[in-house]
Amino acid sequence: MRNSLAFTFAGEHLVARPSGALHWPAAGLLVVSDLHLGKSERIARRGGALLPPYEVADTLARLEDDIAATDPGAVICLGDTFDDMEAAAALPPATRDQLGRLTTGRDWTWITGNHDPAPTGLGGHAADGLTCGPIAFRHIAGDGADYEVSGHYHPKARLNIRGRAISRPCFLRDARRLIMPAYGTYTGGLRTRDRALADLMGTGARAILAGLPMVEIPMPR
């Protein structure tokens, strides 16, 4: 069963991983987006449901696995790493240590998201965006003037097989844009049929479904 999916974007060879991470082997770069760490904490703080408080541990465990498998020299977190700044501040010490271990010895960039201005005291450095070779990395898709990798929308696609609907987070790509799925364990998704995504992606856009097996389909519209 295929457990990663390679493709060419901006003339570069990229690999989509089933976890929702993107690997650029030639650049030694791993990209993840929308981790939303601390979401359950924020919901509880606001008087909502008390969800199982294990999503930070689960999200970071997957990130650790991806890093172990790809051994990247650089890592980009493409924004909305934390559900909000208070959630970042409320991380337990063990989790901060874990993040510290991951960032050590790597060129680690926290891209600013709409939920989190910039995490502090966690190692790595913050930036609004970053350009690496021909590709720009930013949280929210721009006007399409350059080759760009972004997050923010949490795209998910639905595939019907024999009356059974399978819905999975997905990567979306056309000639110029690549939109990443949300990496966090507790993140919902936006259907690719939604106007916000349909208007953004050009004709011939494709969706790469995260999870196993990894497959690519025409973007459902």
Residues within the interface to another protein (CB under 8 A):
1-2, 6-8, 40-41, 44-45, 47-55, 57-58, 153-154, 158-162, 164-166, 185-190, 194, 196, 204, 206, 209, 212-213, 215-218
Closest C-alpha to 154, from 143, 140, 165, 144: 140
Residue 77 beta carbon to another protein: minimum distance, rounded to whole angstroms? 19
CA distances (Å), origin 87, targets 21, 39, 81, 190: 22, 7, 10, 23
Q: What is the distance, to the nearest Å, from the Cα of residue 123 to the centroid of all Cα atoms in its chain?
A: 19
Nearer residue to another protein within complex by CB, 121 or 188 = 188
Backbone Cα Rg of the chain: 17
Nearer residue to another protein within complex by CB, 93 or 105 = 93
Residue 199 beta carbon to another protein: minimum distance, rounded to whole angstroms? 13
Distance, CA of 132 to CA of 93 (rounded, Å):
33
Residue 73 beta carbon to another protein: minimum distance, rounded to whole angstroms? 25
Nearer residue to another protein within complex by CB, 3 or 145 = 3
CA distances (Å), origin 128, targets 22, 26, 97, 138: 19, 24, 25, 7
Nearer residue to another protein within complex by CB, 75 or 135 = 135
